[in-house]
Every structure is written in C-alpha cells, then in structure tokens.
Amino acid sequence: MLIGVPKEIKDNEFRVGLIPSSVAELIHHGHTVVVEANAGIGSGLTDADYVAAGAEIAAGPDPIFARADMIVKVKEPLASERRKLRRGQILFTYLHLAPDAEQTHDLVGSGAICIAYETVTSPSGALPLLTPMSEVAGRLAPQVGAHSLEKAQGGRGILLGGVPGVPAAEVVILGGGVSGSHAATIAVGMGANVTVVDRSAEALKRLAAQFGTSISTVFSTRPAIAELVKRADLLIGTVLVPGAAAPKLVSHAMVRTMKPGAVIVDVAIDQGGCVETSKATTHSHPTYVVDGVVHYCVANMPGAVARTSTFALNNATLPFSIALADKGWQQALRDDIHLRNGLNVADGRITCQPVAEAHGLPHVKAESLIGL
C-alpha cells in the first residue's frame, strides 16, 4: 500500500501523522510511504530524518492525495484537503464530525473511507487513540488557564497556587475521565484548590483513591454545577460522549454568574464544547471574553506541544496503521471490532450512529459494508 503523510494546515498545527520510526515500520511491512516536504519540521523532524527511514519526499500535498491509498493525518481535513480526497481512499485521522456538518457532508460526498482516531475503542471500553491527546490536553488546561488568569491576559490577576497568606485559586473540573484526571494532577501540583465533578460514582471513587484529600469530588447535578461555576476562578470542561456532540453542562446564564476575569478552558471544544458560550478558537487567537469571563477554546490544544503530542499519538496509532496497510480496510475492520468502531464514513454513507444523529442523516452499520 502507498501511504501518504501531508503537512498539517490547521492554524498553528505542528504535529505530523507519522514519525520516522513509524515510517520505517511500515516500510518493513512492504509498504511505500510518501511524506510532504517539511511535514514534520514543527515536531523537530526533518526531511532527512524521513529519507533515512525510507520515505519519499513530495514537494506539496497534491501528489500525496493523488497517489496515496491511505492518508494518515492528525487533524480533520480542511475544505481544501477534502476536495482532494477520492472514492475508496482511506483517511485515518481525528475527525470530530458530530459538531461539524460541513465536514461530514464533504466526507460523505468524497466516497472516501474515513476512520476516526477518536472512536476507535479498546476491549476495556476506553478510547486508546484519543487517550494520549486527552492526557496532553488535560495537562495543558491548568497551564493555559493559569496564564489566562493573569491580568495582562484579561484574567482576574490571580496566581493559581496563591502564596502564604493569600488563598489559592478555585479550580473546578467538569468530568473525571482521562483529561479531567490529568488536569487535576497538574492543578493540584500547582497548588490550586481543586474540585472535580462527575456523574459516575465509580469515577468519583477512582479520583478519591488517586488524590485522597488533595481534591474535592462532587456528584454532577445541574444545581451542583451552577453553584460551583459561581465559585470558580478557573473552570475546565473535559466532558466527553464518544462520537457525539458534548453536552452543554454550563449555560450562558451560569456564565453570567461567574466572577469578572474568571477563566473557562473548554477542552471539549473538539466535540462542540460543554459550555454554551464556547466557540472554537485557534492558537493564533486563543481567547475571547463573554460577560467578563475569559474563554480559552483552542480546538487543537495538543498542537502547542507538538513533539510530545506527535510521539505520544504515534505510539497509539501505529499498530492500527499497520493493520490497515497490511490487510486493507475491509479485512482489518472484519478482524478487529475495535478498529471497526473507528469507521465514521465509508463509500458515501455514515457508519457512526452518533454522527448521523447529530446531523439528522441516515446511518448504516459498518458490518454491512465489510460483509459481516
């Protein structure tokens, strides 16, 4: 199989779909890999590194999209990239289709085989290709939140950990999953007063066992969230419903009750955000203010630490990339129900039910497309 790796073109996106060691593994399996010139430079990976691993270098994206049997990316294809996709071509990347009608319609129209990292599952029910980036985004959230709390950034002028004689900031984290628990780790380490909210009793028990008395845990109800939002200096939203749009747990009315200069970091923005006033931002313009509250809603947060993120992502995606290349998409999906769960769009049809429901479109089961 010929595998193509185009350079990411989303705003300030410096990650890359394959690192040189992944390229070498795929070539060892008998495949050809073509990488766009300077695709890895933002992650500290040169064209020479890729050539040494056995890759071909293409001057631009057009020959890659024209030739490749499978495109391996990081972020969802932008409109200019979607126009280059062709019927039967495999696209393996993050997609986040539920809040993105335009991308969904374009991918359906392309006829491409679109497999989303974020809906591939594991035997335990986890999301192994989303987890590494959830870890990174969770750890970044208190860091960018602390920066946004600085007065020069429009925040309250509060140091997250306080100092002797001055209280630390109140950090409220919505969601105790992967991102939420990693956000709590960093916020606790920075000395903040941390409260984590979740609707799963098991998650709350796990958090209590992990952090002990370093954090407070609260069962998620609307009144509880409303009260905590009022108190928060930094509100971090990490709620995830796999494949579906994030639920709006914080209403605009709740945002109006927040302290002037308080900060919201909506990690769930890739799936539409869990705060009603959230809208996707970029690393170039990461924040905006609504009712005196600073919103940080960058849709590709891990791109800020591209090298760490790229290597962490490749550690998770490479076995699946090899399976798709070795077997072809149909056989790979027949053999692995968890990779099959990653199929979102194929041959002009939506195969992920939450995506179809989000856009009011018909849905077919992946099994019907692979002969099961």
Q: Is 96 a catalytic residue?
A: yes
Q: Comparing C-alpha atoms, which of 251, 260, 213 is closest to residue 232? A: 260
Q: How far apart are CA 214 and CA 338, in angstroms?
A: 36
Q: Is 270 a catalytic residue?
A: yes
- Residues in a beta bridge with 115: 92, 343
- Residues in a beta bridge with 113: 90
Q: How far apart are CA 205 and CA 21, in angstroms?
A: 39
- Locate 353 and state its tokens: 């039910």
Amino acid type, 197: V
DSSP state of 7: P
Residue 362 burial (CB count, 10 A): 7
Select which of 31, 96, 295, 359 is catalytic: 96
- Locate 159 and state its tokens: 């140091």
Q: Are 342 and 323 in contact (CB under 8 A)?
A: no
DSSP state of 346: E
Amino acid type, 171: V
DSSP line for 178-213: HHHHHHHHHHHHTT-EEEEEES-HHHHHHHHHHHGG
Side by side, the strands of the sheet bearing 113-116 are 56-58, 32-36, 2-5, 70-72, 90-93, 113-116, 343-346, 349-350
State residue 141 phi and psi, 5-degree precision. Answer: -55, -50
Q: Are 276 and 251 in contact (CB under 8 A)?
A: yes
Select which of 270, 295, 338, 359 is catalytic: 270
Side by side, the strands of the sheet bearing 263-266 are 215-219, 193-198, 170-174, 234-237, 263-266, 293-296, 287-290
**Residue 345 CB contacts under 8 Å (≥ 6 apart), including other chains:** 97, 104, 107, 108, 112, 113, 114, 351, 352, 355
Residues with a catalytic annotation lie at 96, 270
